[in-house]
Amino acid sequence: MMKNRKTYKYLFVLVVMVVVAAGLRNYREFQRGAVLRQRNDREFRRASTIENAFAIRNVETGMGIRVYGSDVENQIRIVHYTCNYWQCMTWQFIQLEENIFLLRNLFTHKNFQPSSLPEPGITLWQQTLDGNTYQRWEFLQQADETYLMRLQGTELYFTATSDENNSDITLMPLQNSAMQQWMLIRQQPIF
pLDDT of residue 10: 72
pLDDT of residue 132: 95
The Cα 92–Cα 102 span in angstroms is 8
Domains of the chain, by residue range, sit at 1-49, 52-186
pLDDT of residue 142: 96
pLDDT of residue 169: 97
pLDDT of residue 151: 98
| Closest by CA position to 77, among listed 6, 14, 165 | 165
- Give exposure, 16-47, as e/b (b: 16+ Cβ within 10 Å): eeeeeeeeeeeeeeeeeeeeeeeeeeeeeeeb
- Per the CB < 8 A criterion, the answer to whether 164 and 80 are in contact is yes
Would you call 5 helix, strand, or coil by DSSP? helix
Domain 52-186 classified CATH 3.40.50.720?
no
- Residue 109 is given by DSSP the state -
pLDDT of residue 50: 83
pLDDT tens by residue, the chain, 191 residues: 556 676 767 777 777 676 666 665 666 666 666 655 555 555 555 555 688 999 999 999 999 999 999 999 999 999 999 999 999 999 999 999 999 999 999 999 999 999 999 999 999 999 999 999 999 999 999 999 999 999 999 999 999 999 999 999 999 999 999 999 999 999 999 77
| Closest by CA position to 67, among listed 100, 32, 22, 111 | 111
pLDDT of residue 38: 59
The whole model's pTM is what? 0.75
Q: Who's near 127: CB < 8 A, 6+ residues apart?
A: 74, 75, 110, 111, 112, 113, 135
Residue 32's H or E segment, with its range, is helix 2-49
- Per the CB < 8 A criterion, the answer to whether 139 and 147 are in contact is yes
* Per-residue three-class SS string for 117-181: CCCCCCEEEEECCCCCHHHCEEEEECCCCCEEEEECCCCCEEEECCCCCCEEEEEECCCCCHHHE
The Cα 172–Cα 102 span in angstroms is 19
How remote is the C-alpha of 161 from its chain's centroid? 20
- Residue 76 is given by DSSP the state P
pLDDT, tens digit (0-9, with 9 covering 90-100), for 55-93: 999 999 999 999 999 999 999 999 999 999 999 999 999
